[in-house]
Structure 1
C-alpha cells in the first residue's frame, strides 16, 4: 500500500499480486476519478492564477495615463438591487430613487449573492441579467466578483469562471466550438476534458451586451448541445444563454437598459440593477480617490454647495465622480469660485482642457494644433454615435484619425489591448464614457457649423450649405432638438444638452483661450428657448420634457420658475404637468436660490406635487407643509427623506392635513431612523 499526494488529497493504491484474478473495475474507476479530479484542480488553480494577475488594478481613466490603483483599495461598494426598476435618466429621478431605497421598495442585494437563492426561493438562478446606465459600475462589479473568486475570498462554490466581453467577442469571425473558444481565451484550461465541463460548476460572464455587434438570433439559430460541435459564435452564445449548451452552467450578462431587450425574458431567471452610489458611498469614493483628506472634503463641500447641487446628484454615477474629482482637484487651487463649473457642459469643457494639457506635457510633436486633433476625435465620436457604436476597431477608424494621436490623448480616447487573451490581438477603442463621446460629437458639430456653416446633423443629405436666412445658430439648435425628440431611445438627448451648452459664451471663451477654437459672436438664444418652450407644450413624454428642461438650464433660462409662479397666482396649476414639477425641482437645485426653507404653498398644495419636489425637500432645513391638502399618500415619501443620511431636514410642519393613523405610523418609522436629524415636528 502506497500513499500518493495528488492535488492535496492522499490517494491510497493497493496492488494485488494475483495474476489469475481479473482486473478490479472499482480500482480502475477510482484511478480515473482521481486523475480527473487532479486535472480539474490543476486547471482551476492555473485559471485562478491567471485571472488574479489580470484583475488587481482598477483603471478609471486609461492604462496609459497611469490612473490606476489597487482594486481592493479603491473599490467602493455599489448599490445593487434585485428586480427591474425604471431607467434613471435625470438628476431628479436619482433623488426619487434614493427615497425608494430607504422606503424598502427595492431589495438591496450584495454583489456576492446575485447567484444565491432568496429567502422565498428554493433554487439559485442560473442566468442573471444585470442592468445599469453607462459608467454606473457594471464592469467594475464583474472585475471585483472575478478577483474575489481568483483570490479565494468569495464565490468559492463555483469551480470555473470564464469572463468574456462583447467588445472582444465582436472580433471573432471564424466558426469554432465552445471548448475551442474557451481554450483560446483561457489556455490554462485547455487540458479539461468534455466530461470535466459536465461535472464542474461553471459561470460564464458576458459583459457589455450593449457593445455587441452580434445578431443574437434566438429564433433562427440551430440547436447546439455539445461543447465540441463547431458552429458560429452567435449560435454558441444563444444556446449557452438558452441553457441548451452546458445546461448546468450559470450565465451572467451585463447590459445598459436599452440593450437588455436583446435577451428574451424567458431565458433570464433573475434581473438585478446597479444603481451606482448613494450619498454615503459618494463620500467614501472621494475620500479614497483624493488622498489629501482636506482636499477631498473641500471637493465634497463644493459639490454640495448651491451652484453645484445638481452635479453632486449626478455623482451617483461612479465615472462621473471620477471626472468631477479630476476636474475639481485641478481647479480648486487655481480658479476663482465664480469661474468653477456649474453645469454638466462646463464640467466636461474643463475636463477636455485638462486632458489637452496632459497631452502637451508628453513627448509628442506634430504640426497639428490641439484643435485639429480634438476635431478629429470629435469627428470619430460623431460618426460612431450615428452608427450606434460604443466600441470601434482599427477597421472603423481607417483614415479618420492617426492611431498615435488617439494614444496621446489617453485621457479622452482609451486604447484597450489584451494581447494574451484574444484570438485576434487587435486594438479596440472606446471613449472612457458615452457622455465623453457625446460631448466631443457635439463640439465637432458645433465647430463645423461655426467654421463653415455646414450642418452635419442627419438629413437626406449628409450636409448642406445653409442659405442666408438659415445661417443662424438657432437653426442648428432647432434641428438638434427635432433630432433628439424624434429618437424614441434617447440616443441624442445628452448630445443636444452638450450642443446647447457649448454654444454659451463661457464655454466658448474657455475653448478659445485654451484650445484655439473660434469664438462665435454673442447671439440671442431667445429663438432657441422659445422653440423649446413650444415643443414642451406639445409633449406627453415625461423623459423628453425633462431633458428639454435640462437644455433650458444649459442655456441659462430660468423662465419656468416664473411660469410656475404665474400659474400658481392665477390658480391654474392644472396647466403644470407632473414632468414640469420634476423639472422645477431640478431647476431649483441648479439655481442659486436659498432652499433652506421649503414652502409647498409657493408651488401647489397636493401630494403629487410634493412627491415631484422631494429633491428640494431633501436639501431643505425647514419644510412648511401645513394646510396643503396632504394625505397619508405622501407620508412614506416624507419618512424616506427623514431616513436619508444626506437629508438635512431639521424642522417639519405637517399641521392641518388629513394624514390618518396609517400616515402617522409611516412618519414615526422615519423618526426612528438613526439618520433622522429632525428637531421640531408640528
Structure 2
C-alpha cells in the first residue's frame, strides 16, 4: 500500500474514533457526552428470516425483538457479520441488517466502526467509508463520481486515484436505508464500473450494491424491515436481524446507566419488572433509555406518584421532562409544571404539526426548510433538542447542513397525536380535514367518541399501519388522568365514564367484523391504553373465533402473544389447543404461558425448542401454577430444559403433567435434582406412560422422603410397560366397522375391517342405524380424545372422515351424507386428488409432490376441536387439510364408498419417522 495512503488511513481512523467514541444520551445538558464503551450493552443479533417484504407497522413486529432465544437462532456478534455461519460456504460481500426503529442498528454500526478504528476487530479491512443515507439525501439531485463522493465524505483520506482505491480492501456502511429519499432504481439505472465516471447518486449506489463498482468491496446496509425490499434479494449475501436486549441485557443496561447510584438502578429495575408492559417494551434499547429518563425523574422527585404503566403515560412524562429548558422541570410542583408547559406550548404544538404532516408523508428526517414551513425557528429547535434532536452533534460535512429528527419514531407519533388532540379541543378541524375526511367528522359538534372512531377508520385505510400508534396514543389521551398530565399543552375535554364506555364498545364491535388480524391487534392495543380490564378475554375470544375460516398467520400469533403479556391481566386458563393456527403458530403463542395460572398444552407436538420457552416462564416470577404437557414428544433433552426452570427458586408450579412424554431414567434424574433444588411448591406430578426405570423410580422415591418436599401425588402408572412410538401413531386406535350401519350395497370382510361396494345387495337385517340411500358405513367406536388411524382405498375413491352418531340414516339430503353435512368432517379421495367440504363448498386440496398413495392418516384432537388428514407414503406423513371447530359429542369414523371401490382400516404399527407440513415444535 502507498505510504501516503497508509498515513491517511491512520488519520481516518483517528477521525472516526473521535466521531464515535462518545454518545449523547438524550442531551440532558447541552454537550454532555458519555464514553460509548462505558454504557454499551451487547445487543442480540441473529441470522434474519428471508420472509419477503415486511411492511407491517413496527408495533406488530416488536414481538420479534422480545422473542425468547432458542437453540434454532444463530446468534451473531456485530463484529462478525461478515464471517461465515456454521454450514455456510458462500462468499459474503453484502450484509443487510434489519430491525425496528430504536432496536439498536445504528449503535451496532457505531460499535463496529469504533472497534475497527481502535484496532480491536476486523483489521483485515483497510478502509471503512461511512455513508449514512440521511447525509446522502443532501446530494441526491447532484452529479458525482464515486471517487469524488468518497473524498467529500472523508476528505482526510485523499485517496487520489482509482488505482489506490481498487488496491485497498474497502468496506462501505450505509446506515438507515429507511431514511433514504433516493429512488434506487435497480432495473432501469445504467451500468457503470468506472469510479471516476460521473452520474447521479442513485446510479452510483445501485452499481456499488450490484457489484459493478468495486466488486471486491464489502457492503453493510441497515434498515427498518419495511424498507428492506428496496434491495433486490440477489444482491444480499447475508441477512441479519437486530433483536435488541434480552432480559439480562436489559438489567445490564440500567446498571451501567446508573453505575454511580446502585439503589436507583435497583428501584428502576424492580419497577420495570412489576409492569409487564414496560418490561416487554424494554427489549428495545431506545425504550430502555426513555424509561430510564422518566423513572429516574419520578423516583427522584416524587416517590408517592403513581408510576406510568401504559405507553401514553410513559411518553407523556417523557415529553414533559424534555421540553423544559435548562431542566427547569426538576424540583417544581404541579402548578409550576403547568405554567412551564404553557410557556413551551407554542413550540411543542409546532413540533406536533411537523410530526403529523411528515408522518402522513412517511418522512422521518427533516431539514431546515421543513422546520421553517411549520414556523419553527432553527435556534429554538436546538434549545428543545431533547424532543427534536440534531442527528449529528456537529454540522454535516456536506454543505454545512444540519439534519433533524425525533429521537424515535414513536416520539413523532406521540406528538402527532398531541397535535390532533389539540386541534380537536380547540375546534381547529380545518387542519384535520385530510385526516378525517367524513363531513360529520369535521364539524364543530364532533364528540370525542366520534373523533376516536374517525381516526380508527382512517388508520384502517393504511396498508402499512403508519397511523396505528397515533390512534393508540389518542385513545390513551381520552382518559382524564392523561389529560391532567397534559393540561398545560391541551385543553381538557369531556371524558365521562359513559364516553369511555362508548369508545370501548365501539372498539369491541369493530373486532367482531371481518377485519384483518393486524387491525384487530391495534384495537387491542387501544383497549390497553384505555386500561380496560377485559383485554385478555377479548384477545382469547378473537383467537378462538369460529368465524375465522383461515389459520392465524405466524406474525399475528407472535403479536397476540406479546399483547397477552403486556395487558397486565392474568389468564385463569390458557389452552393452546383452542387456537386456530399452524403448529409454528402455536409455538409463537407459547410465551403467553407467563401470564396464566393454568396452561393446557397436551398433544400440541411440543419438543425441545418449546421447552426453552416454558423453562424461561417457570424461571420468572410468573403466575403459572398448573402445566399440562401430556402427549408431547419432549424426551429427555426437552424435559431437562423444563426441569431447569422447575428447579429455579422463582418457580411456584404446583401441578405438572408429563404423561406420554418419553421420559426415561436420564430425565428422571434431572427431575429429582430440580425437586431437591426447589422442593416447596410442586404437589402433583403425572409421569404415567413413560420409562422412568428402576433407577429413576428410586431417585424420585428418595426425593419424596425429603421433609421439605411437598409432593403429595406421584403417578407412574404403566412405567416401563408402554412401548414408545414417535409422532401421531402414538395415538393409534383400533377400529372396526359396524355392520348395523352398512348400506346394503356394501359388504364387510376381514373381521369387519374392510368394506367393498357391489351391485348385489347384502342380506342385512333391518336396523334403525342402517344407511338407506347413501353407500356409507360407520365404525362401532365413538372417539373423544386424541386418536389416530389410517385408511386405504382401491378403485375409484371414497369419502373418508368422521361424523356424529345422530347423522340422518334414511334421508337423501345433505344431513345424511359424509360431505356438506354440518355434522360431518371428511376428505374426498380419488387417485392422487383430494377435496374437502369447506364452508359448504367442495374445495380442491392441492396435491402434495410426494409419490402417489391411496392411504390417508386421520388425526383427531377432540379437545382442541381439530380433525386433520395426512397423505401416508412409506414412513412419511404429508399434511393435507385440518378442520377447526368445537366438538360437542363423540365422533364416529365413517366411509362413503364409491362404485367399484373398496376401503380398508389399516393396522397402525410402525412409527412414522418424518412429517411434512406438520411442524414439530
State the SS of the aligned residue for 2:42.
Answer: coil
Residue 269 of structure 2 is matched in structure 1 by 300
State the SS of the aligned residue for 2:191.
Answer: coil
Spell out, residue by residue over 1:149-170, the C-alpha distance to the aligned partner (whole angstroms, 9 max, x if none): 1110111010000111111111
Distance 1:389 1:141 in 2: 23
Tell whether the 8 Å contact from 1:605 to 1:630 is kept in structure 2 after alignment. Answer: no
Structure 1 position 562, deviation (Å): 4.8
User: CA 1:109/1:462 → structure 2, altered by over 3 Å: closer, same or farther?
Assistant: same
- Tell me whether 1:259 sits opposite 2:227 in the alignment: yes
Residue 11 of structure 2 is matched in structure 1 by 46
Q: CA RMSD in A?
A: 3.5
Residue 118 of structure 1 is matched in structure 2 by 85
Tell whether the 8 Å contact from 1:327 to 1:354 is kept in structure 2 after alignment. Answer: yes
Distance 1:674 1:184 in 2: 60
Tell whether the 8 Å contact from 1:635 to 1:659 is kept in structure 2 after alignment. Answer: no
Identify the match of residue 504 of structure 1 among 479, 496, 502. Answer: 479
Structure 1 position 631, deviation (Å): 3.4
Structure 1 position 544, deviation (Å): 2.0
Distance 1:97 1:354 in 2: 27
Residue 668 of structure 1 is matched in structure 2 by 640
Distance 1:78 1:184 in 2: 32
Residue 270 of structure 1 is matched in structure 2 by 238
Spell out, residue by residue over 1:473-532, the C-alpha distance to the aligned partner (whole angstroms, 9 max, x if none): 1222122111221111121111111111122111100111xx253111223023332332
User: CA 1:174/1:600 → structure 2, altered by over 3 Å: closer, same or farther?
Assistant: closer
Tell whether the 8 Å contact from 1:82 to 1:109 is kept in structure 2 after alignment. Answer: yes
Identify the match of residue 614 of structure 1 among 590, 594, 607. Answer: 590
State the TM-score, normalized to the length of structure 2: 0.63
User: CA 1:245/1:613 → structure 2, altered by over 3 Å: closer, same or farther?
Assistant: closer
- Tell me whether 1:59 sits opposite 2:24 in the alignment: yes
Task: Say which is worse superposed, 261-270 or 37-46, in terms of deviation.
Answer: 37-46
Tell whether the 8 Å contact from 1:184 to 1:421 is kept in structure 2 after alignment. Answer: no
State the TM-score, normalized to the length of structure 1: 0.84
Structure 1 position 387, deviation (Å): 1.3
Spell out, residue by residue over 1:296-344, the C-alpha distance to the aligned partner (whole angstroms, 9 max, x if none): 1111111111xx2111100011010000000000112344556221100
Distance 1:461 1:543 in 2: 21
Tell whether the 8 Å contact from 1:91 to 1:314 is kept in structure 2 after alignment. Answer: no
- Tell me whether 1:127 sits opposite 2:102 in the alignment: no
User: CA 1:120/1:563 → structure 2, altered by over 3 Å: closer, same or farther?
Assistant: closer
Structure 1 position 122, deviation (Å): 2.9
Matches of residues 15-54 of structure 1 in structure 2 within 5 Å?
A: 36-54=1-19
Q: Which has the higher contact order (CA 8 A, sep 6+)?
A: 1
Distance 2:232 2:60 in 1: 31
Residue 250 of structure 1 is matched in structure 2 by 218
Spell out, residue by residue over 1:443-489, the C-alpha distance to the aligned partner (whole angstroms, 9 max, x if none): 00111111125164463898979676851112221221112211111
Tell whether the 8 Å contact from 2:441 to 2:451 is kept in structure 1 after alignment. Answer: no
Distance 1:428 1:602 in 2: 49
Spell out, residue by residue over 1:620-679, the C-alpha distance to the aligned partner (whole angstroms, 9 max, x if none): 6xx6446x543333763243231579634697755582124x455423344358995554
Distance 1:605 1:434 in 2: 33
Structure 1 position 367, deviation (Å): 13
Task: Say which is worse superposed, 122-131 or 253-262, in terms of deviation.
Answer: 122-131
Identify the match of residue 442 of structure 1 among 382, 406, 417. Answer: 417
Identify the match of residue 489 of structure 1 among 461, 464, 487. Answer: 464
Matches of residues 618-657 of structure 1 in structure 2 within 5 Å?
A: 618=594, 624-625=598-599, 629-633=602-606, 636-643=609-616, 647-648=620-621, 653-654=626-627, 657=630
Distance 1:674 1:170 in 2: 54
Structure 1 position 42, deviation (Å): 1.4
User: CA 1:475/1:58 → structure 2, altered by over 3 Å: closer, same or farther?
Assistant: same
- Tell me whether 1:78 sits opposite 2:43 in the alignment: yes
Task: Say which is worse superposed, 398-407 or 315-324, in terms of deviation.
Answer: 398-407
User: CA 1:223/1:499 → structure 2, altered by over 3 Å: closer, same or farther?
Assistant: same
User: CA 1:120/1:395 → structure 2, altered by over 3 Å: closer, same or farther?
Assistant: same
Corresponding residue pairs, total: 631
- Tell me whether 1:204 sits opposite 2:172 in the alignment: yes
Structure 1 position 98, deviation (Å): 5.1
Tell whether the 8 Å contact from 2:536 to 2:567 is kept in structure 1 after alignment. Answer: no
User: CA 1:222/1:63 → structure 2, altered by over 3 Å: closer, same or farther?
Assistant: farther
The gaps in structure 1 that reach 5 residues or longer are 1-35
Identify the match of residue 382 of structure 1 among 356, 365, 380. Answer: 356
Spell out, residue by residue over 1:535-567, the C-alpha distance to the aligned partner (whole angstroms, 9 max, x if none): 222345332221110011112223344557889
Residue 136 of structure 2 is matched in structure 1 by 169
Tell whether the 8 Å contact from 1:161 to 1:205 is kept in structure 2 after alignment. Answer: yes
- Tell me whether 1:549 sits opposite 2:516 in the alignment: no
- Tell me whether 1:234 sits opposite 2:210 in the alignment: no
Distance 2:292 2:283 in 1: 13
State the SS of the aligned residue for 1:430.
Answer: strand
Tell whether the 8 Å contact from 1:644 to 1:676 is kept in structure 2 after alignment. Answer: no
- Tell me whether 1:391 sits opposite 2:353 in the alignment: no
Distance 2:264 2:366 in 1: 37
Distance 1:126 1:274 in 2: 19
- Tell me whether 1:183 sits opposite 2:151 in the alignment: yes
User: CA 1:67/1:528 → structure 2, altered by over 3 Å: closer, same or farther?
Assistant: farther
Task: Say which is worse superposed, 318-327 or 43-52, in terms of deviation.
Answer: 43-52
The gaps in structure 2 that reach 5 residues or longer are 330-338, 652-677, 687-921
Residue 214 of structure 1 is matched in structure 2 by 182
Distance 1:592 1:418 in 2: 39
Task: Say which is worse superposed, 326-335 or 259-268, in terms of deviation.
Answer: 326-335
State the SS of the aligned residue for 2:256.
Answer: helix
Distance 2:15 2:220 in 1: 20
Identify the match of residue 518 of structure 1 among 471, 491, 497. Answer: 491
Structure 1 position 398, deviation (Å): 2.2
Which structure dedicates a bigger proportion of its chain to strand? 2
Residue 743 of structure 2 is matched in structure 1 by none
User: CA 1:163/1:437 → structure 2, altered by over 3 Å: closer, same or farther?
Assistant: same
Structure 1 position 65, deviation (Å): 3.7
Structure 1 position 422, deviation (Å): 2.1
Distance 1:83 1:656 in 2: 30
User: CA 1:555/1:200 → structure 2, altered by over 3 Å: closer, same or farther?
Assistant: same
State the SS of the aligned residue for 2:109.
Answer: helix
Distance 2:480 2:50 in 1: 39
Structure 1 position 175, deviation (Å): 0.8
Distance 1:212 1:145 in 2: 22
Tell whether the 8 Å contact from 2:268 to 2:296 is kept in structure 1 after alignment. Answer: yes
User: CA 1:360/1:604 → structure 2, altered by over 3 Å: closer, same or farther?
Assistant: same
Residue 671 of structure 2 is matched in structure 1 by none
Distance 1:58 1:132 in 2: 20
Structure 1 position 381, deviation (Å): 0.7
User: CA 1:394/1:355 → structure 2, altered by over 3 Å: closer, same or farther?
Assistant: same
Task: Say which is worse superposed, 41-50 or 637-646, in terms of deviation.
Answer: 637-646
Structure 1 position 360, deviation (Å): 6.3
- Tell me whether 1:369 sits opposite 2:328 in the alignment: no
User: CA 1:469/1:408 → structure 2, altered by over 3 Å: closer, same or farther?
Assistant: closer
User: CA 1:455/1:81 → structure 2, altered by over 3 Å: closer, same or farther?
Assistant: farther
Residue 122 of structure 2 is matched in structure 1 by 155
Distance 1:484 1:288 in 2: 39
State the SS of the aligned residue for 1:46.
Answer: helix
Distance 2:449 2:557 in 1: 27
Residue 22 of structure 1 is matched in structure 2 by none
State the SS of the aligned residue for 1:203.
Answer: strand
Distance 1:121 1:522 in 2: 59
Which structure dedicates a bigger proportion of its chain to helix? 1
